[in-house]
Structures are given as C-alpha cells and as structure tokens.
Chain A
Amino acid sequence: MVDLGQTVLGVEFQNPILLASGCCGYGEEYAGLIALDELGGLVTKAVTREPRIGNPPPRVSETPAGMINAIGLANVGLERFRREKLPWLRENLRRAYVLVNVAGWTVEDFVHVVRGLDDAEGFLAYELDASCPNVERGAEFATDEALLGQLVRSVRAATQRPIVVKLSPQVPDIGRFAEICETEGADGVSTINTFPGLLIDVERRRPIIGNVTGGISGPAIRPMGVYATWCAARRVRIPVIGIGGISGAADALEYMLAGAPLVQIGTALFVDPEVVCQTLEGLRAYGERHGVHRLADLVGALEA
C-alpha cells in the first residue's frame, strides 16, 4: 500500500489531488461524475462580495494544448454562496477539504468576503485569487509587492483559518512574492493562475474571446507552472500548491518533485472528468513501482 496522504495547512489530506478554482463550480456540478469525497479536496469558484454576471461570450475556446478563458469571475456572490453552496459542500464532502477561492478589487473586498464566511461551516481555508487576469486590475495584487503584502496582512488580521495566496506567473521573480506572503502570515501559496493570452480570428480580424484577452490554461502552461512552483518552494517554508496543466499522475509528480505537497487539476477535468481517478491510480502505481511507501517523501525530492 502506498500512503498518498499529505499533512498540510494543519490537517491530513487523504491525497494530494485537489480540483482547481473555476474548473469544478461549487462541487455540486461534478457530483454525478467525480467521486468528490475521494479527493484531497476542491477549491470553489471565486466568491466575490456581490454576485457577478461575468464577461460577454464567447468566454472560452481551444488553444494549442489548452484553452483560453475569460469568465470574468461570474459567481453567485458571498451571500448566496454561504446560503446555497456551502451547505451542500458541508453535507457532501466529509473527507475531502474545501478551500474557498476569494476574489476582489480592493483589500476591503477580500476582507469583507472573509469576514462574511468565517463563522460558517463546510470549509477549511481560503485561497485568495490575487491573480485573475480576466478582470480589470485583476492581477494587480500578485504583481505589486506592496499591495500583496497589504492584502495578506489585512486578511490575516480578519481570520484564524489558513490562508493560501494564489500567485500570478506574470512576475520576474515569483519566489519574492511567495516570501512576502510568508512574511505577512499566509499559510501557503498556490502557483499558478493562468497566463494572459489573446486569440484572434484572422478571417474576421477580431478577437475570439468577448473580453478580447483571456487566461491560458492546460498542458501548454505546465512547464511554466512547475518552474514557478520550484522557484517558490525553494524560497519559503510554507507549502506551495502546484497548479497548471496537470492531466495525470506524471504531471502531478512533476509538481510534487518540484516541491508541492498538494496539486490542483483544472482544465483537464473538461477533457475527461475521470482524470481524477486515473491520477490517483497512477500515483499509487508509481509509488509501488519505485518502492515509495509515503508519497509525502517525494515532495521537493527533485535531484538537480
């Protein structure tokens, strides 16, 4: 037997696989297709202070080895999330942990959402989306050292729950941003959010995406995600959650070897929801093949 468990953020995750924000709704939508409670956990769609209708369509399209999206943080808002979505997660996820992804435009927006959810049950931690490329000024927090510091400090003061900060790959030195998060009291960082991109329909000479630009995800960004994870993990002691283009066990292992105790699967779910089961099976098989009894031993075990 290979032990897939990981002790992170003060709890024992039954395995390192989480579903990424924006790619699994509020859990419910995938309940018929994925055994959610067999996962390490999931990260909800971003929750903002007020409900948001999001960007005009088209919002998604295929790109080489991946996709582009500009959803524009469409979500039900703090109040409905708490009233309608969280109870379902609390009832249905007993072993898998829930991280609530929080987005905003000002520090105050983030703090408002965190305060509004903090005494509710059904989730473990917050993931602060400091890096959404699809709304005006979205990635500002994760690209401005002072602003990021202020964000983490303010949210830290508002909650005892673990805080994970989701970082943007659009910075020259992501390790520096991870350090700021650590210094200001974050319990972890997650790397990476999507890369900004632009897809053009040359026949019509127009952008394909309604928002003009969008975020690129999927296998195309995996090496950049692994790199960012490796850079961040070398600089901080808090855990780094690896994200970007994971479509199977080998991909997840790259992130783990680069230093991530947990990983998130996003876009690959759209291609095949069974990717989750297959990844878990693949991790077990890898452990057996390599005589690794505790997967946790592989975290950061890259020989370079």
Chain B
Amino acid sequence: MEFAAPEIAGQAIPGQFVMIGLGLPGEPGLFLPRPMSIAQAEGERLGLLIRIFGAGSRRLTALEVGERALLLGPLGSFFDLGSATRVLCVAGGVGLAPFLFLPRWAERHAPGNRVHLVYGERTASAVFDPGRIHELAGVEPEIWTEDGAMGRMGRVTDRLDVARVDLVLGCGPVPMLKTLQAQIAGTGVPAQFSVEERMGCGVGTCVGCVVAVEDGGRGWRYERICVEGPVFSAERLRWSI
C-alpha cells in the first residue's frame, strides 16, 4: 500500500518502521496504531506491505484511495550495512517488507553492495509476486515454499550458505530467526535481525514492546523494540526469558 508521507519517506532507512492507525477516536478493532516496517520510500511516497492477520490489519488494508491514516515515523533502529559488500537478506513471510526497500536504498547510499534476497512462505499462494519484488527491490528473490508449489521446497534456512557473505540480515517469525541465529553462531559472520512485539506508543514511553537481550556480559535485560530496536545485532537476542 502506498501513502503520501513526504517527511517520513524522505528520512526513512531500511529496517525502520512507522506506527499507522486511524487516529482518534479509532474504530472497532483498530484503536491503537500498528507498527509496520517501511517497505518503500520513494520521493513523497511511503510503501507498506501489510498482511491480513486480525482486525487491525484487515481495516488497514481496506483503506481506500483518498482515505486518511495517521502515520508516525520513521521510528527505531535500522539495518547497518557498515562496510559489508555481500549482504544476505533472509525474509520469512511478511518479514519481506524491509527487504523490498533495502536493496535500492543500499545502491544509492552504499554503492558496490551485492544483495541476495532469500524469501520463504508456507504456501505458494502466500508468496508476494516475484515480479513485483524484482520491480520494487531491484533484485531477483530466491523463493522457498514449504509446500514446494513455488520456488524451492522447504524453508529459507534449509540450505543457507553464509560462508560467502559479510553480513546477514533477517526479518520474519521468531522460529526462523532462532534457526538463523543458531546457523550463524560461530561462523564469525555478523547478523542483524528485525524483531516484533506488540506495541503501544511506538516511541519509548510505555515500555510495552520489550525483548530480552544480552547485557554486556552481565546477563540479560529488556530493551524496547521501538527505540533500541526493531533491528538488533543477532548475537544479542535472548528472546523471552
């Protein structure tokens, strides 16, 4: 979905998100705004990839041209490409969203990168049109489906080769990220994951959106996904305790 949001689009960096809602008084099923990864930022236009899950996302995807939504952003941390030149992006489901934005952004801001996108869904019917992905992201995705009806059969993490990359970026369901975390551990390849949790404010005030992370050798602590995240260095993530 596309929104005219020049201020957000102008500042957005891949990995960041917006809070999108209907404002006050809200509607049944959509009172609190929802966090959504920025999936495109071109000129004045902001693109989001929203999967229908419950009432909130159903209402948001039913927005019609000309209707208004309230957007707050860009929020949170972002994927830091550093000096990496070979970047592997691993997307599970709607975790594809930030990777529709990242390759072209990288081309513009850190030229010389080679981005490889691996994208998996449970079933072929859920796969976001590969042609559209190519068009938006500028890269050819490697697609995996568990039913094998499109692309390769299995999961994105089944045959990952991290040996020839400098950086792994992940966004998707927690089980996928945990598997990825285990695969990368010990290889020396740095990784960054975008993680999700239910949010209230999106800006750090309510302390609602926490995830357990390593606390510099002193055990763990909770950090706010909306401020310290949503992108965390993979080895820090302890998930829930």
Contact = CB atoms under 8 A, between A and B. Distances in A.
Nearest to A208: B198
Contacts of B130: none
A64 B56 CA distance: 12
A54 B210 contact: yes
Contact of B202 (A53, A57, A71, A270): A270
Contacts of B210: 54, 57, 59, 74
B173 interface: no
Chain A CB within 10 A, most for which of B21, B26, B30, B70: B26
Nearest to A59: B208
Given A29-B203, A269-B201, A57 B24 contact: no
Interface residues of A, number: 37
Contacts of B88: none
B198 A270 contact: no
Contacts of A91: none
A271 B21 contact: yes
Interface stretch (A18-26, A112-120, A253-261, A286-294): A18-26
Contacts of B221: 53
A59 B205 CA distance: 13
B150 interface: no
Contacts of B25: 219, 247-248
A57 B197 contact: yes
Interface residues of B, number: 34
Contacts of B72: 33, 273
Contacts of B197: 57-58
A22 B222 CA distance: 17
B56 A62 contact: yes
Contact of A271 (B23, B56, B205, B208): B23
Interface in B189-236: 197-211, 221-222, 227
Contact of B31 (A53, A62, A69): A62
A267 B221 CA distance: 26
A23 B206 contact: yes
B31 A59 contact: no
Contacts of A53: 221-222
Interface of A: 22-25, 29-30, 33, 45, 53-54, 56-62, 64-67, 69, 71, 74, 210, 218-219, 247-248, 267-273, 275
